[in-house]
Amino acid sequence: MADHHHPHPSRADDPEPTTHHQVMGLALRELLIEKGIYTADDERARIEMLEAASPANGARIVARAWTDPAFKARLLTDPNPAIEALGLDPFNAIHVVENTETVHNVIVCTLCSCYPRQLLGPQPAWYKARAYRARVVREPRQVLAEFGTHVPDDVVVRVHDSTAELRYMVLPRRPAGTEGWDEAALAALVTRDSLIGVTVPTMP
């Protein structure tokens, strides 16, 4: 690398200085453990559970709804017991919104980044970004188009701003040509983004 002349300083060994809020967070955690409110192992188990949650859970729910009309009816009217019956723990109150021939749903949290994390795993970085949060409520069709989702003019776009305690999940439409498919094959079509509503499941 004889041509590599331009100088650049090496990166500092230490990270950025710890902020006030980080110090407060660490102090609170130490106090809670010291006072026996919870143990470090409880915390580890909780993090493990959160990281183990993935969009595969949502895909399972959707595939069941596509193949079992009674389950779908329960999922849309009283979702938590229906989801728990599949052995999943939604933690928050869930609200499932159904895409139909006439309605396309998309989820956002403009105030922060509320998301059914315990069910679907961590939210994608773009979901937390200000650009998505500000734009999807103002120009949803343009944002959807950037995800490759072109919603016809005669289909209503319904944006859901998750501002309180409910956590939202989209029930996408079952792709045509999947008649007779089993649940596992159907679940493989359901992506994280289609559960948020920025894309729709398609045939491979």
**Where along the sequence are the contacts to other proteins (CB under 8 A)?**
93, 95, 110-111, 137-142, 153-166
Catalytic residue from among 10, 113, 162, 194: 113
Mark whether 114 is an active-site residue: yes
Q: Which is nearer to other proteins, 112 or 185 (CB)?
A: 112
Classify the C-alpha dihedral 139-140-141-146 as positive or negative.
Answer: positive
Q: Closest by alpha carbon to 43, among 28, 23, 22, 60?
A: 28
Task: Say how far apart CA 62 and CA 59 lie, in whole Å.
Answer: 5
Q: Closest by alpha carbon to 132, among 119, 120, 146?
A: 146
C-beta of 137: minimal distance to other proteins in Å? 6
Mark whether 162 is an active-site residue: no
Catalytic residue from among 10, 54, 112, 162: 112
Q: Closest by alpha carbon to 166, among 201, 114, 129, 104?
A: 114
Q: Which is nearer to other proteins, 39 or 163 (CB)?
A: 163
Q: Which is nearer to other proteins, 65 or 106 (CB)?
A: 106
Mark whether 54 is an active-site residue: no
C-beta of 163: minimal distance to other proteins in Å? 5
Cβ atoms of residues 203 and 111 within 8 Å: no
C-beta of 79: minimal distance to other proteins in Å? 12
- Return the active site residues: 109, 112-114
